[in-house]
Amino acid sequence: MISVNEALQILHENIPAPMTELISIESAHGRRLSDDINAPESSPRYTNSAMDGFAVRWKDCSKASSEHPISLKVIGESQAGIPFENLITSNSAIRISTGAMLPEGADTIVRVEDTRENGENVEILSAKTLRQDIRHEGEEFKEGNRLFSKGIVLGARELALLAAVGETTRDRTEHSQCQATDTD
């Protein structure tokens, strides 16, 4: 009879290294990652709005209330994929959608429910805090940050993040099996 350590040494010397193969992320659940994965780009990729509303300059509307609304001229719109490309100036606002790029000069998002539209103007009823509802570039992770380390087992959370960063296949996943048999 051999010792446990001798048996482990024999196993390590005779079991081939796990194979890697190119597979889709749909087939990768339960597979072990054989290499680190780093973020290909920052997330979010640019500073954007976390809510639908109006992008404004905080100093223009910080004292707004429902009793004393502040009226700003709406000078444009920023939508996801279609940014407003001019500067927000004093006493102006930009209509902005969730995920849309924050225009230059804006430092706060006022939610739709805290406004009242009035022709070409918007009345700000409440601007709660400076930098409200803004997601900053790289807030979740920055380009090059380690997302997953070698050896983790890919589950639903990991696969969702891989899909979100554009990974549709993994060419370095391991699938190893070991079976022990008791001969007593």
Q: Looking at residues 88-99, what average pLDDT do you find?
A: 97
Q: Work out the pLDDT band at 172, boundaries 50, 70, 90.
A: low
Domain spans of the chain?
18-43+140-174, 48-135
Instruction: Name which residue leads in pLDDT, 60 or 171.
Output: 60
Supply the pLDDT for residue 171.
53
The answer, as to whether pTM is greater than 0.75, is no
CATH architecture classification, 18-43+140-174:
Alpha-Beta Complex (3.90)
Q: What confidence tens digit (pLDDT) does each residue in 109-158 have? A: 999 999 999 999 999 999 889 999 999 999 999 999 999 998 899 999 99
State how far the Cα of 114 lies from the Cα of 91, in Å rounded to an integer: 17
Q: Looking at residues 155-165, what average pLDDT do you find?
A: 91
State how far the Cα of 124 lies from the Cα of 114, in Å rounded to an integer: 6
| Contacts for 16 with CB less than 8 Å, ≥ 6 apart | none
Supply the pLDDT for residue 183.
59
Supply the pLDDT for residue 141.
94
State how far the Cα of 31 lies from the Cα of 152, in Å rounded to an integer: 8
CATH architecture classification, 48-135:
Beta Complex (2.170)
